[in-house]
Amino acid sequence: MPGANLTRVEAEERHGVVAGPIHYAVDLDLTVGGRNFGSTATVTFDAKPGAATFLDLIADEVSEVTLNGEALDPSAVYADSRVELKGLKEHNEVTVKALCRYSNTGEGLHRSVDPSDGNVYLYSQFEVPDARRVYAVFDQPDLKATFDFTVTAAKSWLVTSNMPVASVEELDAVTAEGTLADHAPETTKRWTFETTPKMSSYLTAICAGPYAEWHTEYANEDGRTVTMAQYCRQSLAEAFSKDVDYLFDITKKGFAFYAKTWGVPYPYAKYDQIYVPEYNAGAMENIGMVTIRDQYVFDSKVTDALAERRVVTVLHELAHMWFGDLVTMKWWNDLWLNESFAEFTSTLATAEATEWHDAWATFSSGEKSWALRQDQLPTTHPIVAPINDLNDTYVNFDGITYAKGASVLKQLVAYVGRDKFFEGINHYLNKHAYSNATLADLLHELELTSGRDLKAWSAQWLEESGINTIAADVQTDAEGVITELKLTQTAPEDHPVLRAHRLAIGFYDEDPNTGKIVRTDRIELDVDGETTLVAEAVGRKRPAVILINDDDLTYTKIRLDVDSLDFAVKNLYRFDDALARSVIWLGLWDMTRDGEFEASRFVALSLKALGTETESTTFRYALAQISTTAHHYVAPARRDVILSSVAAGLWTLAAEATPGSDQQFQLVTAYLGYGTEEDETFAHHAEGLLDDFVRFKGLEIDNNFRWTIMSALANTNNTDVDGINAELARKETTENREFALGARAALATAEAKAWAWDQALHNDELTNMQLEAIARGFAATPRPDLAEPYAAKYFEAVDWIWKNKTYHMADALLNGLYPIYADPETLTRLGDAWLESHKDADRALRRIIIENVASSHRTLMVRKYNEKA
């Protein structure tokens, strides 16, 4: 498959031709104006004499190609996003001059104009393979090289890259019209950066614009002084200035924690964190200059869950500086080595080096629930996934690569011991520094330090799909003394692998002094095969709850014994430990999704537990699970009654919550998702919050919360387009434009849905974030009559979307526009038919559709269970 979708075979063939040392001199001209920028790349490399290969490049125009002093005809050598190179010598130099295009999709070099002040901001995003959108390159991770970047830009701008600035030269030239949005043209500067260490192309980065900046230093453990900086848009500078010192402190704690834990000091010259607009991901680990979505600049109140997630994200990207950047996978099948490790170690660092001590409860409630959902889809895959081409890579940034992999690494640490695990990591990092490595390389080092044979462990945990279930059965005598505790492990029929687990069993009883349910005993053991008898439990008094997988050491579904389940359901709100609550709650949610636990019962126990829950992420996910259950899983005949009771329950809990608390904020926000057009009480509450005649003490109705209310009013037709435009006119910003588009798409009318559908598919001027906002608003209205007409339209549009949009935009459309409130029987019938007729479609496309249709199949299955319950 030629062109943009590089295959693994092609990458291996190119690696067999191209040899190091590879060096790039990249010169970018950001003063051209309009939609384009100039790019000149000179690449030196060794090769097999007489061989042929190609450079990757996505450009509007290629004006010059020179290979070893010979000018080539660009029209003859540039096609299908590749520059063909024939007749190579032992030592080669190729120069490619091109006109490349700024993106508004978050891929390549993204250009964003802030409507609040007209400033232009540029940032690069090159993972998976989008350095080729900015310069000619061998864009695969195992062809590491050194890079020299030179950038010409407006004099008033700030330009950053992976390395410190070597020099800045003022030029006489003037920027072209359109370079600076609504500002007048100005003279220019040329920034030249120091040569990078050996690195993969997807980790190179350029950011430019009038960013606000803050600086400090870190005394690195190797005796060097590492300069640090943080950047954001000027319009966010005032809000960000309140958090800069805190985020510098978190980062420095991460430096110290990782250097101590791995025994390898931070390896690079500087460390910048730049908060950028309209970002597709959470953040990106560019060497020395991390880009982070600027939704993490908090200009309005956010949940504690999001505040904690920002900390985890900062530490996640910092972990990548060692694991992923210093040592990089050879091909994208080992992507999990980067992401799982960063996810695991950032949670560990958050729990042990910051004030967020319940980070493992956060991980259980959030990341692990993501993994369990992903792992039970028909598209589940091994952690070490087969990646045949770049499209396969895109869809594997998922709950298995991140969350399951991190959970399995936590299990590996329990299996081999923490000290031995990190000793092996130290050897791995030192041995493979500035090069590429594989899973086999990592396991080799861990085997040497731990003395464990990890080949069988890897085969079970990393190379096989699916998730096990471990169920408990307890026998007691007349006095309530345990005579047998048996654990039974099962596996799904399509992935029949029983794994070896290192896990803990917790005994929980009521503390007579506090009334809390607390752990009174703990047993840690190996569980292997179908049946395990817990000998250590025999002779002990049976507690109220026997909790399988206490401390969440392993990755498994759990089923409590009958008596433990009954007690936990009635007393979840009384458990003292946040992680224990999370493990139990996740188990109950899993049973609900599997059609083993009544939906209305799950809603009731969850509402009760919310009254005392303090862990923000557990709270957030419980609210989401209640919403999914009430809207989709309850028997249709009872849905309206359940939804009404949930709305009333949330409003009551909000009134009882501590003024100004995270719980109050989340409860009121959640309540706003349960309105109907006929509910006059809801309209009174929502309009009253917006207009300040309904008040909760301590709850501030700030900018973002106003838009939450506006979306709720739109979803119930208690506002219109004029009302939304009037709200936007109060303060027009990048974010508020997105909110307004989403609110307009959420209007509960056929006309609004038709407008949103057309805009999402056909308005190419929308930024990535604007498109996503419209798609979310389109699908958010819980009315089958509005969703039903789009069931057939959705499947009719799939092929066109895949053909005409970039991957990220196609993914956003195909997931965001799926009409989840249409009749699931209609969706499954149409979806199954599409899949049957598209057996030869791209695997990445089929995977997106399979997962959406699988959610509708599950809805049908769970509804049928609840109709009988």
Question: Which residues are the active-site residues?
Answer: 317
> Helix, strand or coil for residue 857?
helix
Of 705, 786, 784, nearest in space to 745 by CA: 786
Q: Which residue has the tokens 């030192």?
A: 430
Euclidean distance between CA atoms 757 and 742, whole angstroms: 12
Euclidean distance between CA atoms 602 and 630, whole angstroms: 10
Q: Tell me the DSSP string of 247-261.
A: HHHHHHHHHHHHHHH
Euclidean distance between CA atoms 591 and 436, whole angstroms: 42
Identify residue 152 by its one-letter amino acid code: T
Euclidean distance between CA atoms 517 and 539, whole angstroms: 22
Of 651, 711, 713, nearest in space to 677 by CA: 713
> Helix, strand or coil for residue 715?
helix
Whether 466 and 492 have beta carbons less than 8 Å apart is answered as yes
Euclidean distance between CA atoms 826 and 830, whole angstroms: 6
With 0-12 / 13-18 / 19 or more C-beta atoms within 10 angstroms meaning exposed / middle / buried, residue 599 is buried
Euclidean distance between CA atoms 291 and 308, whole angstroms: 18
According to DSSP, residue 478 is labeled T
> Helix, strand or coil for residue 513?
coil
- Edge-to-edge strand ranges of the sheet holding 225-232: 212-219, 225-232, 270-276, 289-293, 283-284
Q: Which residue has the tokens 């319009």?
A: 235
Packing angle, helices 703-715 and 734-746, rounded to 10: 20
Of 153, 150, 149, nearest in space to 189 by CA: 153
Six-digit token string for 204: 């190179």
Euclidean distance between CA atoms 581 and 365, whole angstroms: 9
> Helix, strand or coil for residue 741?
helix
Please list, residue by residue across 821-856, b when 16 or more beta carbons sit within 10 angstroms of its beta carbon and e when fewer do: bbbbebbbebbeebbeeeeebbebbbbbbbbbbbbb
Six-digit token string for 331: 């091909």
Euclidean distance between CA atoms 189 and 547, whole angstroms: 64
Whether 284 and 317 have beta carbons less than 8 Å apart is answered as yes
Residues in the chain: 869
Taking the CB of residue 421, how many other CB atoms lie within 10 A of it?
A: 18
With 0-12 / 13-18 / 19 or more C-beta atoms within 10 angstroms meaning exposed / middle / buried, residue 775 is buried
Which positions ≥6 away from 409 have C-beta within 8 Å? Answer: 340, 341, 344
- Residue 413 has phi, psi (to 5 degrees) of -60, -40
- Residue 436 has phi, psi (to 5 degrees) of -110, 150
- Residue 827 has phi, psi (to 5 degrees) of -65, -40
Identify residue 865 by its one-letter amino acid code: Y
Residue ranges of the alpha helices (H) in 716-788?
Answer: 721-730, 734-746, 750-762, 768-779, 784-787
